[in-house]
Structures are given as C-alpha cells and as structure tokens.
Structure 1
Amino acid sequence: MADRLGSLQELPIHLIQEILSNGQLSAADLARLEASCYAFRESYGFLPSRFKSMPELAAFQSCLADTMFFAMSLASRTELLNRCGSNWKLVLRFLQSVRQAFGSVETPKGNVQVTTGKYHTLLVEDGSLYNCGSSICGVLGHGPEITQCGSLTRLPLGLTVTHVSGSHNHAALVTQSGEVFTWGDNSSFCCGHGEVGCVIFRPTKIEALKGIICKQVATGLSYTVILTKYGQVYTCGSNSHGQLGHGDTLERTTPRKVERFNSLGPVLQIAAGVSHTMAVTEDGTLYTFGSGSNFCLGHGDPRDEFQPRAVQAFKRKNIHVIRVSAGDEHSVALDSNGYVYTWGKGYCGALGHGDEVDKTTPELLTGIKEHRAVQVCARKRKTFVLSDDGLVFAFGWMGFGSLGFVDRGISDKVVSPLVLETLKGYHISQISTGLYHTVAVTNKGLIFGFGDNERAQLGQESLRQCLEPREIKMWDVLEGPDIVLESL
C-alpha cells in the first residue's frame, strides 16, 4: 500500500487535478477517491484554502462547467452550496442527479430512460427502445398485428435512441443524430406528418424537421412538443386551448416553431400535460400556456393562455426553476436549490400540502424541504419526488396501487409526501408514472414496476396487479427486419 501511495504522490499534481476535473467522473467517484486514498485528501499546499482536497476542487470545477449551474445567479449558487453544507461534491451530485433524472440514467448497463403512458411503458437502454403493455392506437410501434406485449421487448428500429416520450395514445423519440420519429394515434395530427389522420403503426420520421437537430420530445394528449439542440420549441397537433403556443387555437399538422421564445431566450426543458404546456428557459424562468382549467398554468386564474406567459410567482421571489412536470390536472416545479412547488387541482392530495385544496399559484412543498429533490413527476391525481440520496416520496391517489404503498387500499388518498419504504434499499435515479402504473430506474440499471398490470404494462404477463415493486426484465428481439419508416 505504501508503494502505491508513493507512486501516486510522485505524479505531477496538476496532472492528477486535470484528470479529476475532466468531467468524466461522477460526484460519487470523487467521494470514493477522497475516502479511500490518503493521497487525494492532501492539499499539497497548492490548493486554495477553501478546498481541503483535490476531489473537492475537482467537484467545484465540474460545477462551474455545468451549463445549469453556470446559468444560475450568484445568490442561487450560494444558497445551493449552503444547502449542501459547503460541500462541492454534494453540489455536483445534485446537478448530475437532476440531469439524469430528467434525461438518461448512467448505469453499468448503459444509459436508461423510462416513460409511462395510459396502459404501456416505453424504455430506452443503451440506445435501444423497449416497450410493453397495450398497443392501443399502435402506441407500441410493432405494427397493426400486435395489440399487446406481455414483456418488456426490444423494438428493432436500426436507430440509436436518446430520448422517448409516450404519455398518452401516441409516442415520439429522438435519435442520436437529432431526428424525431413519431407513431400511434394521429387523429389530431399530433404525429406531425401533415394531412395524415390515420393511425401510424410504426415509428416514422418527421420530414418537416429535416435539418433541425432535436434533443427532447414531450407528448401531451393529442399534441406534441419538441425541443431543439439550440433551445427552440416546435409544436404540432390539437390546439383547442392554445397549448401549441402560437397565439391562436388552430391545429398544426406539422411542427411549427413557437416564435415567442425567440425573444425569451433558449429553452432548457419542456413538459406537456393533457392540454397545457410548460417550458423552462436557461435563465430559470418558467413559461406556461394552454388550458388554464384547474389553475394548472399557475397564473392565479383559470384563463387559457395562447402564448408562453411567465409564472410571476417565481419571478417575484427570484426563484430559479430548473425542471417541471405537467400532470393531468396539476403542475410541479423544481428549483435550483432542490425545493419543490405544486399547484393546480388538489383532489386526492395530489399537491402534497396535507389537504385537497386547489392552489392557484405555485406553493412550496414544506413536507420535504429538508431533502434536496432532483426529480418531480406528476400524472393524474398523483405526484412523485426523488431526492439526491435516492429516496422516493409519493402523494396523491393510490390509483390501483400505482403510488406504491403496500399498506394502503388501491383507492386511498395520501395527502402529504411519504417515503416509499419498499424502494429504500435501492438508489432510485428516475421515475415515471402512467395512468395506473409506475416504473422506476435504479442507479445500477434495475427496473422496478408497481400498480395496475391488467394490460401487461409492467411487463409481468402473469399478474393483474402488483402492489409491491417488482423487477421488470427485458427481452431482446433476435430476428426480423428493422421496422422503422423513413417517411409516410
């Protein structure tokens, strides 16, 4: 051991620091290095006095290189650092956890991302798309002859998938090259292929986006929101409440850019509900538009908004929003310090404030403010929150067991955030909840599901219901041609 330490100490300090700060190491990696090796706990007299170790300085430098942290004000950065006990490794863990929770989880099996719909589950692992459940309206993309998949099965696309969304009766994915493919129910032209109102049974490229590099998609009920690499937003489909953001209620058969964002700055993240849309810009401002029913927009009144409008409750308090989730009847936001805010319809305790009262504007969720939240996930009458230490908090309607509490009835209400004890033995890095089922991803790449399984949406063909989280296995497809369509 002494020889190994000596060899390490003989390396140029600047070289070691450069390796530690190259952005390839996670906060957990840096913490392990600091804890396991005495050489990394030394300052060697060259570190600034506020950094007691090389991993701590490396974490600080990685935070400065993070685009989300860079966009935060000095006050927001300072508050986050204080929330993390002046530990830069914890700040980095927070930033990395948020990015993975809303993007792809980096696991030993590859990058994993999950999204759940009404009666189906879509999952990306290492660039391949898997799905299970009901293929109503062709939402699984296997073709008209497949009506249900009883296990989580790979869809042979011949594409490298980086992001997928499929919250309702249609789905969309983004490839590594930035192309967007859609499929499923297209009666409202939400798939973006022009005057084609029929069901699209296989993933098909949106030709109208040719040459535009995209990075995220969000599928609402009968409409689609698309985010480009450079922060522009495109929308298509139903527009009865102005949820497309073009200043009117006319449907769009192909994606059209939301021009309002040209003057508001690049968009960082998007979310789509039943008929309301949310968009967070890089400066931490939340814009909402579409249906104002149930106060989902957070403007204090139930009026529809036909163009993006800033949520003033956050602006007035200089709250820097970093991520959001759009439920069916309520909305949830996460700020740069890991605090959670909810508003909209409070039925069944979906807002988590200990009651069922509607909130017309965002209200801080005090029940979990001592935890640093990294993901918020809302759906019909229920909400999930993940903390940076891997805990899962849930509240709202049990919905056939989809809230995950084994000691509650399938239609009970949980009006305040409670820890999901059945998953405490795992570090949950991402979660998605559908109409009656929920799927979670661990930092090791394990997939757990719970809730209703009548249509095999949990990938467990022999069960009708699963009250306790059960691991979901994936199956490969070894035969058959790629089924992706380049165009209609």
Structure 2
Amino acid sequence: MPSKRKVTNNSNKRKSPDSQDNAAMPLKRAKTSRKKPEVFPNEVPLKIEVTNNSNKRKSPDSQDNAAVPLKRAKTSRKMPKVLQNNDPKVKEILRQVTTSGIILTCGQGDTGQLGLGDDILEKTRFAQVPNFTKIVAIAGSGMHNVCLTDEGKVITFGCNDEGALGRDTIEGGEATPGLVDLPGRAIQVTAGDSHSAALMEDGRVFVWGSFRDSHGTLGLLTKNKESTPVQILRNQKFIKIASGSDHLVLLDNTRKVFTCGCGEQGQLGRLPERKTDRNSGRGGNKLLTPDQVYFKISKKIEIENIWAGSYATFAKDANTDDLYVFGLNNYGQIGLKNCDKSFHPKVSDTLSRRKWIQISSGQHHTIALDEKGQVYVLGRKEYGRLGLGIVSEDATELVVVPKLSNTKCIDVAAGTAQSFAVTENGKLYAWGMGSEGQLGTGEEDDVLEPRVIESKYVKDLEVLRVSAGGQHTIILAKKINE
C-alpha cells in the first residue's frame, strides 16, 4: 500500500513562509526571440570550373601529401588533476566527522520525519532517535531525513510519498528509521524535498525519489519517480554532491560541475529561462538528464567546492577566491545586484574573496561559515531568520551575526526561515521561525537573535552537526567526554 500522509489540525497556526511567499513569486516564461537564418538574395552562387588536366604532370602537392601527413602542433594544455575520494582535500570539502554519534530531532513530525514513531506528531524540544548510535553524517529535508553510519550504511525516515526513503516502508513504516540497500560503502548523503542521494567511496552516485516543479511531480532521471536507488552518470566519478529543494549538484573528480532537476529559478545554471519549463519542447528531458555547467568561455574554470540552497547553487573557483552563483535572488540571498534570479553562473562579488567552510541557503536567506569560524548572513529579514534582532531592512551585504561574533563556530544550517550554528565547544544556537517547534527551544515563538539550546537531552551532549528541514531539525551529537 502507498504511504499515507498524516494530516494534523493546524488551523490556528501560522502558515509556513512557503505558503505565504510563493504566491508573490509567479513564474514567468521569458519571451523567445528565436532568429531565422539571414538570407542574402543578391548573393551569386560560387561556380567551380573543372579543367581536364589528365595529360599534365601532377603538382608536388598531389605527389607528396600522401607521404607527409600533416602534424598537429603539440599543445601545452594542462590536464586537470584527477582527485580520489581518499584524498585529504576531498575529505576536507566533505567535512567528515572523525567520531560517530547519536541523532536527535525536533519540530513537526506528521509524516514521520522525527523518527520517533507514528504517535509523535510534534516535539518542541530535541529528542533522541532510538537504536542508532554510530552516525557520522546527517541530511534533513522538507519532510524526511537521510543519515550515514560509520560503516557507510544509509538510513532514512520520514515521508515516502515520492520514494524519498529509497526502501519498502510497508513493514517498518515511515516513522521508523530503516536501511537503504546500496551496492557499497557511502561517504556522503544529501536530501531534497522529495529526493535523496548517496556518494559512494568509489565515486559512484545513487539517487532515489523525485524532483518537483510548479506543475507537480517532475520525475528523477526519467518522468517517473524511483522508489529504490539508481546510479546516475555511470561513466563519471564524483567527489561531492549537494541537494537543493528540487535539484541535485555534482562535482566530479576533474573539478567539473553537473546539475539536474527543477530549473525554474535558475538553480541548474545551464539552461535559458524558456527551456526550464517542462512543457517547452524537450524541456523535461534536458532538466532530468544531468549535464555540465559551463562557467566562462574565455578561460577554463576548475571548481573545488559546491553547495546547494533551496533554490540556488554555489560553486567555488579552485584557482581564485571567486564564488559563482546561480538561482533565486529575489531578496539578494545569493549576493547579486539588481537581479531577481540568474539562470547562468555569475561571480557574486558579495560572497567572493572569502574562504568558506560551509554555505547553507533557505527559501530567502543564506548563512555562511568562514575558515575563522565567523558566521555571516544575507537575505530576507522576516521572522528573525538573520539573527540580527529587530532590523528594518533585508541584508543585501554580508553581515556578521553579532551575538556569535566572539564565538568560533564549526557548522551552520538554514531551514526554510530558520537558522542554526554549532560552536567549537559543541553548543547549538538557533534563531528564526519557530511556529512548529523546529528551533528546539521548547516554545513555538520566533527568535530574533541566536539562542543557545540547553534542553534536557541536549545540555549533556556535544553537538557536532546540524541540518534543517522545512519544519523540523536534526542534529548529530555525542556525549561529552565520550
């Protein structure tokens, strides 16, 4: 039987920003200006005269060319270094933790995304997900989670309507974490609203679930959803993957970037606006078939790191401090000026010239962590998601979060309209929209500045990583002195 989504009575609760804001952002198709080839009516066709030279001696050209093949000059183009997944550089961009821990969740649980059983529909404080104590990576999404064990096994729980769990949920159910059957050891996991992905230690990538666009279910690699893992781009080897709400970004071992999924906001970076509608010619095939993103025609760009926001993509140039961005920018959340969305890569002057450790982007804001442990925010101010207190304007330039300016952080995450930061001593800070208990404060109020989470289950733990979903949050932690 297909999984049924539980419906809770939230009539008295404030609607999420998705329901408030998307109506204000109608998707418009750009007018096409397809040009016909130019015709020159006065042009006379070129005539070639043929003469009979059978009695003439052949020219030296015709005698010698067969014996002297033309040689191409040697080029000095430097081949890109092929990276392996066991390289220290790769481990650095994956930010793998060196110790395993437990997972805790809070927020809305109506589709099993808390992993606490069918009866737990909401938690305003973090609670431990039972039976799993050796987790090394987490990925929260709209309504499900993907976790990675120290043995490279993948665990999922939450909504499975589009196949995002990658496993049969008839027996165990959606709210009980279960293993995904994968052919090998995984080293990274990601999750979007209705899809999931895993990067294997040998460079293969497997995906499952479905992408969605403004018309509904879009499909995954074809127009159908995938309920179990399928391999993507079989001839490529990858070193990192990143998931937006409905798109996937892949960095291969020669520093090239590939994308697939929904492109309506420009988040694929490789198609003009008119081609991002599934109904425009072969639009659907071009969206779902992973293809390379090209950054600059004038020079060869090698990318060393990638991140994905809900509706945007970020790519760091390996040879400079330039950060390329593409996607939704209606609140300046990806650092472009005078531009609501970008369908092709542009250098973000706002985000360039810094060494970023982590970038996370929600619906309308971005939070970024630099190599010094400083936390910066950018974008929309409503609901306190920037952590700047009461402010009258959105942040169109990078702003340091004042309450964390004297604290070194090791991780950050953006949810739909909420933000989180983890400090080097294992403390978790949360701020932004709290209407579904997703901040873990024990209340459902918005928080305008970072607040340390010191609830019963968290205060005796060292938090290692945080990942924010739509209306829930998941953290990875270990017991202090363990």
TM-score w.r.t. the length of structure 1 is 0.68
Tell me which of 350, 353, 371 is aligned to 2:333: 350
Q: Is the 8 A contact 1:240 1:250 kept in 2?
A: no
Q: Does 1:294 align with 2:268?
A: no
Tell me which of 266, 269, 287 is aligned to 1:305: 287
Tell me which of 261, 271, 290 is aligned to 2:242: 271
**Pairs within 5 Å for 1:171-182:** 171-182=145-156
Q: Is the 8 A contact 2:321 2:353 kept in 1?
A: no
Q: Deviations over 1:48-85 (max 9, x none)?
A: xxxxxxxxxxxxxxxx998264x8xxxxxxxxxxxxxx
Shift of residue 312, structure 1, vs aligned partner: 0.8
Q: Does 1:400 align with 2:383?
A: yes
Q: Does 1:67 align with 2:103?
A: no
- Tell me which residue corresponds to 1:324: 306
- Tell me which residue corresponds to 1:216: 188
Q: Is the 8 A contact 2:267 2:326 kept in 1?
A: yes
Q: Is the 8 A contact 1:285 1:315 kept in 2?
A: no
Cα distance between partner residues in 2 of 1:177 and 1:430: 23
Q: Is the 8 A contact 2:271 2:344 kept in 1?
A: yes
Q: Is the 8 A contact 2:434 2:444 kept in 1?
A: yes
Q: Is the 8 A contact 2:270 2:343 kept in 1?
A: yes
- Tell me which residue corresponds to 1:367: 350
Cα distance between partner residues in 2 of 1:192 and 1:315: 39
Q: Deviations over 1:87-132 (max 9, x none)?
A: xxxxxxxx95x443xx44x7xxxx5xxxxxxxxxxxxxx4111111
Q: Find the residue that maps to 2:395 and give its secondary structure.
A: strand
Rate the CA distance shift 1:435–1:189 in 2: closer, same or farther, 3 A: same
Cα distance between partner residues in 2 of 1:243 and 1:392: 35
TM-score w.r.t. the length of structure 2 is 0.69
- Tell me which residue corresponds to 1:227: 199
Cα distance between partner residues in 2 of 1:127 and 1:367: 36
Q: Is the 8 A contact 1:223 1:238 kept in 2?
A: yes
Cα distance between partner residues in 2 of 1:232 and 1:342: 25
Q: Is the 8 A contact 1:188 1:222 kept in 2?
A: yes
CA RMSD across the alignment: 2.9
Q: Is the 8 A contact 1:186 1:198 kept in 2?
A: no
Shift of residue 197, structure 1, vs aligned partner: 11
- Tell me which residue corresponds to 1:382: 365
Rate the CA distance shift 1:222–1:367 in 2: closer, same or farther, 3 A: closer
Rate the CA distance shift 1:370–1:334 in 2: closer, same or farther, 3 A: closer
Rate the CA distance shift 1:65–1:453 in 2: closer, same or farther, 3 A: closer
Cα distance between partner residues in 2 of 1:430 and 1:346: 23
Q: Find the residue that maps to 1:278 and give its secondary structure.
A: strand
Cα distance between partner residues in 2 of 1:341 and 1:460: 36
Q: Is the 8 A contact 1:280 1:324 kept in 2?
A: yes
378-387 or 295-304, larger mean C-alpha shift: 295-304
- Tell me which residue corresponds to 1:25: none
What percentage of residue pairs aligned between the two structures are identical?
A: 22
Cα distance between partner residues in 1 of 2:212 and 2:372: 41
Q: Is the 8 A contact 2:156 2:178 kept in 1?
A: yes
Rate the CA distance shift 1:424–1:314 in 2: closer, same or farther, 3 A: farther
Cα distance between partner residues in 1 of 2:348 and 2:186: 33
Q: Is the 8 A contact 2:332 2:378 kept in 1?
A: yes
Select the structure that is richer in helix: 1
Rate the CA distance shift 1:310–1:352 in 2: closer, same or farther, 3 A: same
Question: Could you tell me which amino acid in structure 2 is paired with residue 230 of structure 1?
Answer: D
Q: Is the 8 A contact 2:441 2:455 kept in 1?
A: no
Q: Deviations over 1:143-182 (max 9, x none)?
A: 0111122222222224411111112101111111111111
Count of residue pairs the alignment pairs up: 362
Tell me which of 194, 201, 218 is aligned to 2:175: 201
Cα distance between partner residues in 1 of 2:324 and 2:429: 26
Q: Find the residue that maps to 1:347 and give its secondary structure.
A: coil
Cα distance between partner residues in 2 of 1:197 and 1:397: 43
- Tell me which residue corresponds to 1:427: 408
Question: Which structure has the greater CA radius of gyration?
Answer: 2
**Pairs within 5 Å for 1:96-111:** 96=92, 98-100=93-95, 103-104=96-97
Rate the CA distance shift 1:249–1:371 in 2: closer, same or farther, 3 A: same
Cα distance between partner residues in 2 of 1:234 and 1:245: 11
- Tell me which residue corresponds to 1:24: none
Question: Could you tell me which amino acid in structure 1 is paired with residue 398 of structure 2?
Answer: P
Q: Find the residue that maps to 1:142 and give its secondary structure.
A: coil
Cα distance between partner residues in 1 of 2:85 and 2:169: 44
Q: Find the residue that maps to 1:400 and give its secondary structure.
A: helix
